Structure formats: structure tokens, C-alpha cells
Amino acid sequence: MNSYLRMLKMIRPYAPQASIAVLFIVLYSFFSVFSFTMISPFLKALFLDENPSVVEVVEEPKNEALLVDPKNEDTETRERLESINQKTTWSDQVKMEALNWANENLLDGTRQDNLLRICLALAILLLLKNVTRYFQDILMVFVGEKVIRDLRNALYLKFTNLPLSFYHQNKAGELISRATNDVLMAQKCVSVSFTTLLRDPIQIVLFLTVAVILSWKLTLMALVMLPASLGVIIRIGKGLRKISHRQQEEMAVLTTNLQETIYGIRVIKAFAMEDFENNKFLKRSDELFKQIFKFNKYMKMSSPLTEVLSSLVGLFILWYGGSKVFTGGLMAPDLFLVFFASIFSLVKPIKNLGQVNNEIQAGMAAADRIFQILDTPSEVAGSVGEKVLDQAEGRVEFDKVDFEYVPGEPVLRDLSLKVNPGEVVALVGSSGGGKSTLIDMIPGFYHPNSGQVLIDGVSVTDLDLGSLRRQMGIVTQEVILFHDTILNNIAYGLENVSLEDVREATRAANADDFIMKLPDGYDTIIGDRGLKLSGGQRQRLSIARAILKNPPILLLDEATSALDTEAEKLVQEAIDRLVKHRTTIVIAHRLSTVKNVDRIYLLEAGKVVQTGTHDELLAAGGRYKELYEMQFQKRS
């Protein structure tokens, strides 16, 4: 219920539209109920004699209430009515006033005239009913879609503000499912359910009011259907939320499977694993079908059960009330038909409430999953820093840093190192030594469990993350490009950049030549993740992007290890131009590429075990020399 209330609170910005929709819902309900009351004058116009002098209305034997035509009213009859009115209940008074109004305005002429008046009245009521229905629906669509848009936007904005650790713990396909399928399911909590929860209770109250006015005793008998129907609704609804949770989870798994297949299709085909992946997908699809079918099996059960219970009670009322009408001890036949129509009209809104309860349960299950994401602490909220880094000098320092992803499994331990402005240092060592983690802590992707990471002497946790990251250029082995033009990919995140500025950066990155050979040049769409380009071309675009940004601090995570010899040479030349006059930290697996750096840090098991230049470390022996000799032997 908490999720449902949170969904309803999102309607607040659109309160004017929602309020007008509520007004139209009330009007629609009134016109719907009032049209049923036209049954009585319609029957009188068809079957009673023209210009009747007296129309008898029998409610209870003790009242003997008579409705008298005002044109033929005499003193004796008026006195008799006044005497009877003193004994009648409020419902009798309302009923007689309504019948008097109908006789005076709808039945005060020939049978043909009366029929025409009633048909015109019904036409007006139907027109008003449908006009108000249209406006209530269109306004609620407006409000509902606005709320879902806001929810979808909030979810996307949350995705961009969550820390990297969140994405390491959650599958991309599941997150995509929450932003698409779950949002659509949650929409039912707002648009459909909100309208039904307002309209149908109003109709129930109005129909009951009409029924009570006509006969409170029969109405009381009819109300025995409500506890039975509500019991069915509640019992079925309890299990639907759990089933819906499982359904959403299966949908997320299926989305993840689909996403991994599309992204990994080259590997799947290379290993001839099509049948394996097909079987895995079909199995998950079958599981999703089972959950959806199970959900609908229970959800569809409430409507027929409610209708059966309601119909049984209605038929009993028809038998019992009809018998009383025959004996003349209950009410006039035309009024009994109005009463019976009102009672049976309760069935539909009661059924709708049962259905909307099921939809709310499904929507709440989806909303729970969405709010789980929205309630996750954001990266910006987690960083208390308010200091803005306008122009960094480029001094980077790690002071006794400890870090662990999983408690009890340290990745960095008491690590200290320093990089001065303009220096180029390299991080080397065996895989799993903590090099990539160290790089990720500089832009604040992760924060130390103890110790400090300092930029120009200020802790990263004290800096505004946006201003910090604008001072850095990051080039990784896995290049991230977007399904856009080459120009927009290189100028990503920058404003007012000219084509000549971009070309100057691509020339420095050895990329301008191959770009100009493409059919559309810099306007070429490079495809999803840049798959229309080779690995070396993608890497040179990422370097051009970093050159154009011109950051004072540069982070390189083994940008050449996956390239062939020719591509590596071109990329390495681009990197050599890129690192000039800026603080650069390089992760290197090929030790031959770090011979000319200012300093090398060798990391093992999260600690710095050796420090020095390439020549100094070779002369000192130890682990660095072992690694270098192993690589030299392999290449020779």
C-alpha cells in the first residue's frame, strides 16, 4: 500500500486536471444513475391511460400513499395526503416529490406527447453521460501518462546518478526491464485504478440511494451480496501481488537474456552456441508464460465469481419483490422495475472494483521494484563534497588507502603514492592487483574505506563530482561509443565545438585520414557501440575525444593491449601526443610501453611493492624484472 500511496502522490503536480476529471466522474455517475429512473415515466407513458387523475404509489400497506394529479386535486384528497405525509419516512417524501415532478413535466399531456418528452429527456441524458465520460477519460489519460512520464524520467535520472558499484551488482537487462515493463505495469496504479476507484464507488452510492428511497427493506436484503463479493476480491488479491512479483522477475531475466544474446552474438556464432542459447531463451520464455498464465487465471476468477454471487441475490430479489408486487403490498410495478434495475446496476461497479484491486496488486508489485531503484542512494547524494574544482593543477595523491568491494576481502591495502603535475606514471603488476580499482577511485567512482584520495591536496569526497570529472580524460581498453555520428561522439559533453576543432583533435589522434575516407565523413553513423569501425579506429576516436576535452589529468587503462601491431603503433603515437603537459596515470600490461615514463608503481595484492623508473627497477631486480623477462621471452 505504501507504493500505491507514493504513486498517487505523483499526481499532485497535475491536481487541477485531476480535480476537473473528478468533477466529470461525479457528473457521469449522476447522469448514469438518473437515466435508470426514466424507466418509470417511460412505462407510464406507454401503458397508463391518458391524463390519469390519480397515480397510486404503494410503498407499505400502512402508509397507503396516493399521488394525486394537481389538476384534479380536491380538498378532501389534499387533507388525506397531508395526514399520510406526516407518517411517511424521508425516502417516501423524496419518492413522492420525484413522482410529482415526473407527472408534472413528463406525463402532463397525451400519450404521444409524453413519449416524445421522455425520449428527448433520455437523449439529453445519454449525450451528457457520454460527454462527461469522454472528458473524464481524456483528462485521466493526461494525468496518468504525465505521472508515468515523470516516473520514467525519474528512473532514468536515477540511473545516471547511481554509483558504478550499483551496476556491478545488477544486470543491465533487469534494469532495462524495470524502466520499460515495470513502468507500464505501474501505470495501472494511476490511470485505470484511480478512475475506477472514484467512479464506481460514487455509482454504488447513487444506485443504493435510489434503491433505499424505493424500498429500504429490499435494499437491505440485496446488500448481503457485498460481504461475499468483497471476500472473494480480497482472497484472490492477496496472492496476486506475489505472483506479479515473480512475473516481473521472469520478465527481467528474459530481457537480460535477450540483451546478452544481441551484444554477444559474435561470440555465440563463433562457438556455435546458437542451439544452447535458443534452448535457454525458450526455457525462460516458458517460465514467463507460466507466471503470466497463473496471474491471469487468478485475476480473471474474481469477475465471474462476483457476477454469479450478485446475480443469485438479484434473482432472489426479483422473485421475492415480484411476488409482493403481485399482491399489491410493496410498490407499483414501474417503480419495482426501477428498483430492480438499480440493484442489478450495482453488479458492474462491484465487479470493476474487484478487477481494479487485481490490477493495483500487479501495479504495486511493479512499483515496489521501481521504488527500490529510486530509493537507492545516489552517487551525488553519497558525496558530501561541495568544493568546485575549476582548474586542476594535476597533483594526485593516495594516502594510506584501504578499499574492499566485499567486506573482509581487501582490494587495496594501506596504499600510498603521489603523482606531481605534468608527470607520467605507470601502474603495473599481475591481474587482480588493484590497478583498475586505483584508477576508478581518482574520479570518485569509488571512495576508500579508510585513507584519502587527494586532488591538488583536497580529498575527492570533499569535491563536487561533476567539477572533478570535468578535469579528467579517461581512455579505456573497452571503448564506449554511441549510436551517433563521429562528430558527436568526439565532441561528446562539449558545447560550441567547431568541426575544425574536432579535426585538429583527430589529426593528433591519427584518425582524420580514415574518417575522411568514410562515405559521410564526420557525419557517418558508427552504429551501436561503434561496431561499424575496427578496434583501432574506435580507440583513436576515444583518444581524439580526450584530446579535444584537453583535461589536466589523464587516465589510460591499457588502451593498446587489444590492438594489432599497426593499429597499436598509430594509437601509441596518438597517446604520446595526448600525454604531453598533463598529469597522466597509465595502466600497462606490456612493460615495453612504459620505458619512458617518469615513474612506475608495481602493485601486488593491493600494495605498492616496488617504485622507480624502468631502468631503476630492472637494476634492482625483484618482481618487476621477473615480469619483464617473462614478457620479453614470450615476444622473442
Local mean pLDDT, 10-residue blocks, the chain (636 residues): 76 89 88 76 60 42 43 49 52 63 67 78 87 89 86 87 80 81 77 74 82 76 63 63 74 79 73 83 86 77 70 72 67 73 75 72 80 80 66 91 89 93 90 89 90 92 87 82 89 86 88 90 86 84 86 82 65 77 86 84 92 91 87 61
Distance CA 187, CA 140 (A): 11
CB 612 within 8 A of CB 600: yes
The string of DSSP codes covering 354-402 is: HHHHHHHHHHHHHHHHHHHHHTSPPHHHH----B--SS----EEEEEEE
CB count within 10 Å of CB 210 equals: 22
CB 138 within 8 A of CB 421: no
Distance CA 350, CA 227 (A): 11
Quote the cell numbers at residue 168: 556491478
Rg of the chain in Å (alpha carbons): 39
Distance CA 173, CA 157 (A): 17
The pLDDT score that the predictor gives to residue 352 is: 74
The pLDDT score that the predictor gives to residue 162 is: 84
Distance CA 411, CA 604 (A): 10
The pLDDT score that the predictor gives to residue 240 is: 67
Could you give the C-alpha distances from 467 to 379, 495, 555, in angstroms and in order? 14, 16, 16
CB count within 10 Å of CB 76 equals: 8
Q: What angle do CA 146, 149, 154 make, to 5 degrees?
A: 125
When the candidates are 3.20.20.70, 3.10.105.10, 1.20.1340.10, 1.20.1560.10, the CATH number that belongs to 14-50+109-374 is 1.20.1560.10
Distance CA 414, CA 410 (A): 10
For the domain spanning 383-471+588-636, the CATH number is 3.40.50.300
Domain ranges (residues) in the chain: 14-50+109-374, 383-471+588-636
The pLDDT score that the predictor gives to residue 627 is: 86
Distance CA 585, CA 598 (A): 10
Burial letters 602-633, b for 16+ CB under 10 A, else e:
bbeebbbebeebbeebbeeeebbeebbeeeee
Residues in the chain: 636
Which residue's entry shows cell 611493492?
Answer: 609
The string of DSSP codes covering 65-117 is: -EEE-GGG--HHHHHHHHHHHTTS-HHHHHHHHHHHHHHHHTSSS-HHHHHHH
pTM of this prediction? 0.67
Q: Would strands 599-604 and 583-587 be described as parallel, antiparallel, or unpaired?
A: unpaired
